[in-house]
Structure 1
Amino acid sequence: MRQALRIFAVVLAVSLGCSLVVTSAAVLLKERQARNLRLDKIEHLLAAAGIAAEPDADPLQIFKTRIQALLVDLDRGRPADPKDLGIADPAAFDLRAASRDPTLGEAIPKALDLAGIKRRPRYMPVYLVRDGQAFSRLILPIYGRGLWSTLYGYLALERDLITVAGITFYEHKETPGLGGEVDNPRWKALWRGKQAFDAQGQVAIEVIKGQVDPARPEAVHQVDGLSGATLTTRGVDRLVRYWLGSQGYGPFLAWLRNHLNSLPALDE
């Protein structure tokens, strides 16, 4: 009997010890994974803005010194006070959770859901790029349906809020070699210098099927489609147009054009 109790005690102690090790490892790994995910998003954000980091530079430090996060009320087209919403840091705003939240998110009428996302946050973070205290570029989070997945990324505009500075996607599950070519640096480079809006201020950027004819006047608004990936091409085209339009950042961009000279300093 005593021998059986000893065996039971040893087994119990080993089980408890293993459980403690596994639990501790899971907690530590979860924290590390969250940090790595945040770091990856920051690196993509900086890449979209064309900010090249030195080999030994810390992206987090570059973000702190060059980037200012604002929370935008999409309906009003104005910056919102994060504290009014109980948000400590606009840069940490969880747009997926917000879109599902009955207070922070809302359903999109089907006729207006160009990006195929069904719901959207009522608020979105945007990022001002600073050269010193001078505003130089604007980075906009974007997302929408592709063929197999929802693509999440960033679109950067130059200070004129018309010219595309860059685009990148930090998360998607599109087909490697086809829709997955949204990750190809050569394709992303095609976006730089394109005009997102026409002379009347209407969204004009589009991802076309096939290649752009540089001799045509509309070429300044067009980007080559992804070869063999018609549905992903269409998805990227629609999500970009959605977020630049009246359902997305359109009202805020109109407001910002009139307030470029009165933006808060980076350390405010």
Structure 2
Amino acid sequence: MHKGKGMKFVGDSRISAERKPNTSKDYSEYPGRTEAFWPNFLLKEWLAGSVFLVGFLSLTLAHPSPLEKMADPTDAAYIPLPDWYFLFLYELLKYEFASGTYIIMGILVLPGLAFGALLLAPFLDKGPGRRPHQRPVAVAMMLLALTSVIWLTYESAANVNWEQRAEANKPVPASNVEIDTEHPGYAIYENSCLSCHGGELEGTAGPSLVGIDYTPEELATIATDGIGSMPPDQFTGSDEELDQLVEFIISVNEEAK
């Protein structure tokens, strides 16, 4: 024991007897790592994530996702599509080995095996290295999954006429026409046409009746015989009621001009 040093006792030899200030480690000897992960680096990550989240939420509020028109049960030509991030699964169901009698393969077995393999990838490749060539199994599985998703999504999207689909499924604009509910033809319209053409003739499952260019005779013929995807015999009232219905639709269009 050196003179003047005295003796120091600690309960655990692994604990330093000298008190040290609660400061971050000195990373200056490691190029590119000059700050502590907590709280310096992590705080920056949180701030960057918060800015992105606020921006993303602001974007969704300013530009909400567009909706298609109301579902029309009489339109047999309409082909529903899932959202873009499910298009690859939609495309998978078009192949013979994943559809028809093998539909279970397409909706359960193949997706289950693919996502299960990705889940097990870290356990199948336990190499200590972090570079891609040092983790061949995990990298190969990820590249195979990524390539499959991109290819199936591309194949699905390439077969859709997006311009025609967007034009056919434009959201219905709000009507600015005041409807005369006291008109004798309104009650007839309400019973025969409202479910498809909307309470303000703006169109829902059927097209809008505001801004159309038909004569009274043509409207009467359409109401009884149908047109396009509209089936016949939608109106089954008397001739007098048909005249009142046509007169009501004409009056609404005259007001809209």
How does the TM-score come out when normalised to structure 2? 0.30
Higher-helix-fraction structure: 2
Select the structure of larger CA radius of gyration.
2
Higher-strand-fraction structure: 1
**Bigger relative contact order, structure 1 or 2, given CA contacts below 8 A and separation 6+?**
1
How does the TM-score come out when normalised to structure 1? 0.29
